Amino acid sequence: MNKYILVAALLAATCANAGEWTPGEKAAFGFYVVLSAIDAAQTSSINNNPKYAEANKLFADGDNVKINEMIAAKIVYSGLFYWQLNGVNKGDKMSALLFVILLQGAIVANNHAIGVTITF
């Protein structure tokens, strides 16, 4: 799973360095992608564990998680989100970034609270 976190971090760095983004917006987008990668790592760590069930039914196949599809979707979602933000004014861009950071952070925190861990 470490390779997926590295790919996500590189994707974030590549995307957030393009266009007319402020340093704060670049950092916020990178933080969102890192949180998304942590969520993917948490989900991967619970795959085939009967104690946990994936709440997002798009990626669940019974008790198993379709890891490759989940990671591909997260990369596509991040890219689409980045693309959409390029047309948004600065104040609204940061508001949107803070919203997704809070949302993704809540998911990661909830996973941690119920005992989901990742190992490196």
Residue 120 within any structural domain of the chain: no
82 has pLDDT over 70: yes
Looking at the structure of the chain, the number of domains it has is 1
* C-alpha closest to that of 3 among 28, 48, 40: 40
Residue 82 within any structural domain of the chain: yes
pLDDT of residue 21: 85
Residue 51 within any structural domain of the chain: yes
Residue 36 within any structural domain of the chain: yes
- The reported pTM is 0.81
Environment class of 81 (CB within 10 Å of its CB; exposed 0-12, middle 13-18, buried 19+):
middle
pLDDT of residue 12: 59
User: Which residues are CB-contacts of 104 (< 8 A; sequence separation ≥ 6)?
Assistant: 32, 35, 36, 39
User: Which residues are CB-contacts of 53 (< 8 A; sequence separation ≥ 6)?
Assistant: 60, 63
Domain containing residue 49: 2-113
- Each residue's pLDDT tens digit, 102-111: 999 999 999 9
Residue 96 within any structural domain of the chain: yes
* C-alpha closest to that of 31 among 88, 86, 103, 92: 103
Residue 26 within any structural domain of the chain: yes
- Average pLDDT of the residues of the chain: 82
Residue 119 within any structural domain of the chain: no
Q: What is the mean pLDDT of residues 92-116?
A: 94
Residue 108 within any structural domain of the chain: yes
